[in-house]
Amino acid sequence: MANIPARLKAFLPLKLLNQGKVRDTYELPGYPNLILVVASDRLSIFDFVLNTLVPAKGEVLNAFNIFWKTQCLPRFLGDTFSHDLFAHGAAIDKFLPAEMCGNEELHKRAVIVQKLHMDSIEHIVRGYLTGSGWDAYRTTTPPTICGHVLPEGLYDGSELPYPIYTPTTKAAVGHDEHMDVTVARRQFPGAEGCVTRIYSAGQEYARSRGIIVADTKMETGRRSPQHVNGFILADEVLTPDSSRFWDLEEWERLRAERKSPTPWDKQVVRNWGKAAGIHRCRPQIEEDVEWVHKQVVPESVVAETSATYFAIFKRLTGLTLPEFQNRFLLA
Ligand SMILES: Nc1ncnc2c1ncn2[C@@H]1O[C@H](COP(=O)(O)OP(=O)(O)OP(=O)(O)O)[C@@H](O)[C@H]1O
Ligand SMILES: [Mg+2]
């Protein structure tokens, strides 16, 4: 991917299969159906990787993903839910070459997942109206988002009558585009129900901990493209990189004023990026990429992002990151 600063290139003695904006995936010798996914501290907005690392961000993202896939979602969804996670924490050592074993940094950042054929779609589910959903709502008559016709009179921050599925394309480079829901339903029959159930379970749990998941993005894959159904939840799920989180108490307080709460996620970085002009840049244009890499993210933005991710993790799981790691990841 052109858009990744050279100093963030991969470091492991395995064959690098793919470098995403945040995660690096590696082949595992002897295990053709598994891959190693390592979460880095990279920070991305508007489809650009910024030239800044957020200390321990990859660790906390990895812990979120493991928490949801192994601790929380199976309790809500039982057998109706399948995910890609195969091994995490110190248990990954069984699948690694001997010289990579016992590496706590990897135990905190990496997971081994089933290597899936990824579906070329980003599944977005919204339970609340904000962001590009709000933009579509307020500029259409009757108010419509991705083909869902919604009641009049909602505001930026409103709870929707029911969670809606608003998928986008998954662009290799550049910005994803909104998809009409009927097209997505035809191409990926059954996926909408699967990801909406995951969102609703996550939202119900998060609300019980005082957090609203306003919307979220998920990815799915299948064991083979011939598997018509059988969507498996892949990649990250319900993290502050992939979701909009709000504080429940603030949302309830602001409801009377018909106002949206302060975003509690990566929005602080997006706000800085917007003020700097990054949202107008195009990831497929080399000069734009070089210009973005010269922009210095202020330390205060990095510190606030890091503090936010840690605070949400604690609120959601009841554990600090080191407590979670000691209990579930380190031998
Ligand atoms: N189980 C899996 N099998 C195969 N590929 C996977 C699996 N889980 C995740 N991936 C892929 O690994 C990569 C992870 O990289 P990363 O999370 O940085 O994503 P990205 O696509 O660059 O960015 P973003 O998620 O922000 O759109 C993605 O390309 C994702 O589709
Ligand atoms: Mg991803």
Question: Tell me, what's the pLDDT at 331?
Answer: 76
Mean pLDDT in the chain? 93
Q: Tell me: the pLDDT tens digits for 167-214? A: 998 877 777 788 889 999 999 999 999 999 999 999 999 999 999 999
Are 148 and 164 in contact, with CB atoms under 8 Å apart?
Answer: yes
147 lines ligand 1 (CB under 6 A): no
Determine whether the shortest distance from the Cβ of 23 to ligand 1 is under 6 A: yes
Residue 2 pLDDT grade (very low, low, confident, very high; cuts 50, 70, 90) = very low
Q: What is the structure's pLDDT at 225? A: 77
Which of 4, 23, 47 most suits a substitution to test ligand 1, by most atoms within 8 Å of the C-beta?
23
| Distance from C-alpha of 326 to C-alpha of 331, rounded to nearest angstrom | 8
Asked whether the beta carbons of 237 and 202 are under 8 A apart, the reply is yes
* DSSP result, 148-202: EE--SS--TTPEEEEEEE--B---SSS---B--HHHHHHHSTTHHHHHHHHHHHH
pLDDT 10s digits, 19-48: 999 999 999 999 999 999 999 999 999 999
From the CA of 41, which ligand is nearest? Answer: 1
Ligand 1: distance of its center to the CA of 69 in Å? 16
Give the ligand at the shortest distance from the Cα of 33: 1
* pLDDT score of 329 more than 70: yes
Mean pLDDT of 50-73: 96
| The residue type at 201 | A
pTM across the whole model: 0.94
Q: What percent of the chain has pLDDT over 70?
A: 96
Count of CB atoms situated within 10 Å of the CB of 73: 21
Q: What is the C-alpha to C-alpha distance for residues 234 and 242, in angstroms, rounded to an integer?
A: 13
Ligand 1 touching residue 124 (CB < 6 A): no
For ligand 1, atom 10, which residue shows the shortest CA distance?
A: 235
Would you say the CB of residue 214 lies under 6 angstroms from ligand 1?
A: no
Are 198 and 233 spatial neighbours (Cβ–Cβ below 8 Å)?
yes
Radius of gyration of the chain (CA): 19
By the 10 Å C-beta count (0-12 exposed, 13-18 middle, 19+ buried), 58 is classed as buried
Confidence band for 1, pLDDT divided at 50, 70 and 90: very low
Q: Is 219 in the pocket of ligand 1 (CB under 6 A)?
A: yes
Instruction: Reply yes or no on whether the pLDDT at 302 is more than 80.
Output: yes
Tokens representing residue 227 in the block: 């598997």
Give pLDDT, residue 230. 87
